[in-house]
Amino acid sequence: HDVTRMVHLADVLARGLQIGDPGDDTIPMLSQSAMKRLGLNWKTLRRVLKDVDDQLPAGHDLVRVAIGHDACVSA
């Protein structure tokens, strides 16, 4: 199912970007078949990750403002 593939991709990316607390230090291998079935390739993924990396600090700031204190850990 595409939802399962998207959750897998999101889990791998969040762990790789150290977003959240997954409860362990592992980063699973990204499923090539999941990427293919979702229409992704490494070129696209690198571009998306660059955008995420550029925007992550602003996202952390937005969450800090929304909750009223520094509960987020900077990337």
Residue 8: the pLDDT is 94
Closest CA to 5 of 42, 41, 31, 28: 31
17-73: pLDDT as tens digits:
888 888 898 999 999 999 999 999 999 988 888 888 788 888 777 777 777 755 555
- Give the start-to-end residue ranges of the domains of the chain: 2-48
Query: What sign does the dihedral 1-22-72-14 (CA atoms) show?
Result: negative
pTM: predicted TM-score of the whole model, two decimal places: 0.66
Contact (Cβ atoms closer than 8 angstroms) between residue 9 and residue 38: yes
